[in-house]
Structure 1
Amino acid sequence: MSLVSNKYFHRIFITLFVVVVAWVTRHIMSPDTPLVGHIFSSVMLILLVQVAWGIYSWQQRLLNKYLPFSHKLYLRIAVQIGLGIVVIMIIYYPFFIALRHFQPFPFTSVTKAIMLLSLVVLSIAINMTFISAHFIERWKEGIRRTGELEKEKLRMQYHHLKNQVDPHFLFNTLTSLDSLVKSDPDLASRFINHLSRIYRYVLQHKENEVVNLETELEFIHHYCALQQIRFDRAFQVEFRISDAAKEKGIVMITLQMLIDNAIKHNEVHEQHPLHIRIYDKDDFLYVENNKQARELVQHSSKQGLKQLVQLYSFLTGKPVELQESPGIFQVKLPLL
């Protein structure tokens, strides 16, 4: 429920509560009061609450400007409540004259005392509603700011991670390229072409968090081509992506990170190929690979996958799901 609708809810609730309490009180103190008297008094009371609410709303804005809560908290609350009591006493006078003229029930000293006390309580209740609404809004704003700061921190970590991936990847590719230049110049030329397209993609989108899936797929095809040149038939990737899914978004280099993770943690051997399947279903992208764990795994802090999961949690309400069985490791990514 929004802050605006909350204010209207509080306004209607307090008005109805006051009308009901006043009706019961009149009935107890003056059982002979006719129905028309109850109705007239209720109408007057509703008008009184609405006028008071409007003035208190203006008073709240004025005090926020000249005596904000952040300046002197307790003084501000005391001034707001004190002014509120004075205001409601002033605006009640014409309503009192109208009620006295109509005379729905006798105005004794006890009746007047109860009315005055009720006005004080009503004034405090309305002003406390405004005060509490102010602090609730500040609290929500604080939560939003904390979330934005956490998101910005995660973005910086993710961009730092992307910058770390590039030198590691470059080292491996240059090592492979060195041997290709000597053994197969034509294949080395194709290798360099794929590599240039990969870095063009990184340079074009390095400031982006989310890219179109079709754009990411164009990049990952070049990345997979490099890996297939490197591992030959030991590395196999299968794509089954619908046209509708290609129009969706994905966090940049997600696929590269997941494929690199699969290569890092699994044996890639011609007799036991690493098979990776990338497909979509029901607005999710699935990346899964067969498990054939390495005996010696390269050191991994697993921060990349963790930060990727956290970043998706800020971008969508659908979580990233990691599922592991004896033979398959699967990552289920929500398409954005």
Structure 2
Amino acid sequence: MQKNTFKHLGFNDFYLALIGLPLLSFFIPQIFFQLYPWDGWEIFRHEWQESFLFTLSFWVLFRTLMIRLRKRFPLFSQIKIRIKKMLIYYICLVPIVNITLVSVFHLCQMKDAYDPNIYQAYLTTYFVSFTIIALYEAIYFYAQLSASITEREQARQAQIRSELDGLRNQVNPHFLFNSLNTLMHIVSEDQELAKRFLQRLSKVYRYILESRTSPLIPLAEELKFIDAYVFLQQERFQGNLEVEITIDSVFKQHHIVPLSLQILFENAIKHNIISKQHPLLIEVFVNEHLHLVVRNNLQRKRQVLDSTQAGLENISRRYAYFSKEDIKVEESEQYFTVTLPLIHPNKSSLYESADY
């Protein structure tokens, strides 16, 4: 029961009621009736007690109504309906409860030591009721807003995780197959090279498996991974793959989405001819707009099926969570170029603590 009550109130109101109701009742005679403890304690004490009974009655009434309305209209989007209905209750019930309590007091012969006029009485009860409703609605609104933000963040993280997991599943089989084929050719010819090849292969797969720990990763980490990845690919293509990475150290602390460079390198290798007559050159640098550029000379293979561009779409979707800037894809007669936004470390730190 207490758990459900907490759910519909948004907080535990035990101490608020225990301390807040007597405290509010203590100030009501002073604010509305200009009765002060030092002017006559017996009169003030009597009014304090009566104010407390009024405050407690309205608190129980409107607290109960709020819980019932929130059970009936629980969604954050239904807040306007709840407030409209609560205002109707507020306008209609305050005078009814006020008259009922006054009648009960008279029947119980609880004669006021101080008899305020009717306007003071109604102003007081309306004030008490409004204070209770406004306080509870404000706290509940904040609790629902926080829960809504948390749910959206969890959904966003789940989406990123799903896309990255899907990407890892795509990368692993093809890349492993090609790498093992290359290893088979060099293991009998050069054992030292085979050992280095296995070490780099291990680094690549460790990075692929561990890259899901954060939605963003420092460019320096991605470049270390690319260095190992390029070593494997250069052994596969016998030196016909050339890579030039020219990036100032100041930019290496900026962040990108994991495996984005690997996707772009893989696309360049997959869709272009690589031979002694036509070596493939992939360049990586930061342009004058402080964006990361990956560019390769264009020498397309003849393919029966067109590219689905699934890798580029994956990068674009994941970048959309962290940057208002889109990735740019440009193709000319000479080059195929992809430009990626660099995420500043101050901004990326907001996402590094995400639970992945």
Equivalent in the alignment of 1:54: none
CA distance, structure 1, for counterparts of residue 341 and residue 157 of structure 2:
18
* 1:257 aligns to 2:258 (yes or no): no
CA distance, structure 2, for counterparts of residue 92 and residue 264 of structure 1:
86
Structure of greater relative contact order (alpha carbons < 8 Å, 6+ residues apart) = 2
Post-superposition offset of 1:225: 1.1
* 1:77 aligns to 2:84 (yes or no): yes
CA contact (8 A) 1:69 1:76 kept: no
Post-superposition offset of 1:232: 2.8
* 1:325 aligns to 2:332 (yes or no): yes
Residue 214 of structure 1 aligns to a residue whose secondary structure is helix
CA contact (8 A) 2:246 2:284 kept: yes
Matches within 5 A, 1:149-164: 149=155, 151-164=157-170
Unaligned runs of 5+ in 1: 1-57, 98-126
CA contact (8 A) 1:201 1:219 kept: yes
Residue 67 of structure 1 aligns to a residue whose secondary structure is helix
2:313 to 306, 325, 336: 306
CA distance, structure 1, for counterparts of residue 320 and residue 206 of structure 2:
28
1:220 to 226, 231, 236: 226
* 1:315 aligns to 2:322 (yes or no): yes
Equivalent in the alignment of 2:69: 68
Matches within 5 A, 1:197-212: 197-212=203-218
Structure 1 pair 169–161 and aligned structure 2 pair: CA distance change class (3 A): same
Post-superposition offset of 1:252: 1.4
Equivalent in the alignment of 1:9: none
Equivalent in the alignment of 1:123: none
Structure 1 pair 239–257 and aligned structure 2 pair: CA distance change class (3 A): same
Structure 1 pair 66–141 and aligned structure 2 pair: CA distance change class (3 A): closer
1:77-113 Cα offsets, whole Å, 9 max, x none, are: 334224146669999934999xxxxxxxxxxxxxxxx
CA distance, structure 1, for counterparts of residue 275 and residue 118 of structure 2:
89
CA distance, structure 1, for counterparts of residue 95 and residue 290 of structure 2:
57
TM-score if structure 2 supplies the norm length?
A: 0.58
CA distance, structure 2, for counterparts of residue 64 and residue 219 of structure 1:
60
Structure 1 pair 88–318 and aligned structure 2 pair: CA distance change class (3 A): farther
CA distance, structure 1, for counterparts of residue 239 and residue 206 of structure 2:
27
Unaligned runs of 5+ in 2: 1-58, 99-116, 124-132, 344-356
CA distance, structure 1, for counterparts of residue 292 and residue 168 of structure 2:
21
Equivalent in the alignment of 2:119: 93
Identity of aligned residues (%): 32
Structure 1 pair 311–182 and aligned structure 2 pair: CA distance change class (3 A): same
67-76 or 136-145, which deviates more: 136-145
CA contact (8 A) 1:158 1:308 kept: no
Amino acid at match of 2:271: H
TM-score if structure 1 supplies the norm length?
A: 0.61
Equivalent in the alignment of 1:122: none
Structure 1 pair 158–75 and aligned structure 2 pair: CA distance change class (3 A): closer
Equivalent in the alignment of 1:194: 200
CA contact (8 A) 1:68 1:76 kept: no
Equivalent in the alignment of 2:185: 179
1:258-315 Cα offsets, whole Å, 9 max, x none, are: 1001111111122111111101134421111111110126785432221211111002
Amino acid at match of 1:168: H
Post-superposition offset of 1:64: 7.6
CA contact (8 A) 2:240 2:275 kept: yes
CA RMSD of the aligned region, Å? 4.1
CA distance, structure 1, for counterparts of residue 237 and residue 203 of structure 2:
20
